[in-house]
Amino acid sequence: METADALLVPWSGRAIMLLDLDAFFASVEQLDHPEWRGKPVIVGGDADRHGVVATCSYEARTYGVRSAMPAFTARRLCPDAIWVAGRHDRYRELSRQVMGLIGDETPYVEQVSIDEAFADITPSRVNTEHPAVVARRIQRRVREEVGITCSIGLGSTKSVAKVASDMDKPHGLTVVLPGSEAQFLGPLPIKVLSGVGKAAHQRLTAAGVRTLADLACADERLMASVFGSRAEMMRARAMGADGSAIATEREVKSVSHETTFADVLDARDDIMAALSTLLGKVARRLRKKGFRAHTLAVKVRMEDRSVRSAQMTVTPSSDDELALAAHLGPLLDKVWRPHERVRLLGVRASGLEQEPERNVQEALFDLPEDGASEAAAPLIDDPDKRRGLITATDALKDRFGEEAVFFGAALRNKDNTTGSVTQHPADG
């Protein structure tokens, strides 16, 4: 279903997306070699007919080249292709960046390969956005911030999301609304379902099972003979009814954001402005994940590569950057001395707890006992009004991008915080 049409229907129940990076290795090569864009690129094997194709660009696919194809076959089909051995450190670097973008939206991410990840983006009390809006934003950010494209499938289960992600490539978004799983899956050939290998496909086809609708109602004995102990799981997948959860690697224990600067910072005002910008990103991600933090930490790496860090307890816990900013000055004083040259800054929030109901009036601008930050001037005394301001700025950033609006001190240095950014959605 088109995104615009899907938005007209309220989402009910789980929302699982599968993000698949389009022709990932080849796309990275075309990103790093602009002169190769629009040309057939093959990664893996070599032009002397050794090895197999790891992946290829969409331009090469028009010649019939496919992943896992013998190199000599690919050479025959596309003699003018550009062959690349592969740069796996570079691929892992961009993969981590993409996973960080997904982590900005949800802590429930299951990376299944270097170029694929499931994510649970089910609406919650804290974040009520339609999942299709979230998926489209992730897709846009991958293209704009990483420079490559991805295709996304969105549905109520992992199997539906997986099948949907292959429906519209490259740079497609296929939305399967809850309740329409059988209608979507039924007519599709059984080969699209994960778990139906070559041997299973042959046996099922010989028995007259050709579509997922056929598989959903296939004879139990046939299913058992083909899939063994996985028979009922495969039937559930064919019906779009599998309830497997996102297998996150670990519980989310912290949210952090770091920036490495192209030019060192040595003025306190500039460092404070950069920290305020980073804090804003961390607080925004806390709100998206439905967490408040009890501990705030600052990290600095000097020009000589030495690293220092300090942390402070936050009372009460908060997801409000205007309140948390009160701790930045005292934390900076613990790790930095005037005129020291800073190459990297980081802000981490930990000691996380689930966001409580908002009917509690809190003294969000109580200052730490050992001093107050110059960046912490309370803009609005009423917590409800201040929450309204923060909610409004979040909405503006969701719609127009992260650079759409800044609070106070962050404006001073926003142009100097666009260096190499490493994001850690769940540092643990």
pLDDT in tens, 60-74: 999 999 988 999 999
Q: Is 105 a catalytic residue?
A: no
Phi-psi region of 265 (alpha: psi -120 to 50; beta: other; left: phi over 0): beta
- 173-175 β-sheet, strand order: 109-113, 116-120, 16-21, 150-155, 173-175
pLDDT at 372 over 70: no
Confidence label for 192 from pLDDT (cuts 50, 70 and 90): very high
* C-alpha span between 191 and 202 (Å, rounded): 10
* Mean of pLDDT values over 410-427: 39
Which H or E element spans position 95?
A: helix 88-105
Q: Given the residues 110, 116, 258, 403, select the one marked as catalytic.
A: 116
Q: Is the pLDDT confidence value at 1 over 70? A: no
Find, among 213, 142, 218, 211, the residue nearest to 173 by Cα. 142
- Alpha carbon dihedral 353, 368, 322, 103, in 10-degree steps, equals -40
Q: pLDDT grade, residue 310 (50/70/90)?
A: very high
Phi, psi of 26 (to 5 degrees): -65, -35
Give the residue from 248, 257, 311, 307 showing the smallest Cα distance to 281. Answer: 257
Question: CA-CA distance, 2 to 131, in Å (whole number)?
Answer: 13
Residue 427 has pLDDT above 60, yes or no: no
Q: Give the model's pLDDT for residue 412.
A: 45
Residues with Cβ within 8 Å of 368's Cβ and at least 6 positions away in sequence, in order, are 312, 326, 327, 330
Residue 316: partners with Cβ closer than 8 Å, 6 or more residues away: 362, 363, 364
What pLDDT is attached to residue 251? 60
Structure tokens at 347: 């802000």
Read off the pLDDT of residues 232-254 as tens digits, 9 standing for 90 and up. 999 999 999 888 888 765 566 78
Of 408, 411, 409, 256, the closest CA to residue 344 belongs to 256
Residue 373 has pLDDT above 50, yes or no: no
3-state class of 67 per DSSP? Answer: coil
Predicted confidence at residue 2, as pLDDT, reads 59
The predicted pLDDT at position 421 comes to 35
Amino acid identity for residue 144 in this structure: E
Residue 82 confidence (pLDDT): 95
Compute how many other C-beta atoms are within 10 angstroms of the C-beta atom of residue 412: 17
> What percent of the chain stands above pLDDT 70?
79
Quick check: 79 pLDDT over 80?
yes
Q: What is the Cα Rg of the chain in Å?
A: 25
Q: What confidence tens digit (pLDDT) does each residue in 2-19 have? A: 566 766 688 988 999 999
Quote the pLDDT of residue 250. 54
Whether this prediction's pTM lies above 0.85 is answered by no
Q: What CA–CA distance (Å, rounded) separates 288 from 255?
A: 11
State pLDDT tens for residues 116-125. Answer: 999 999 998 7
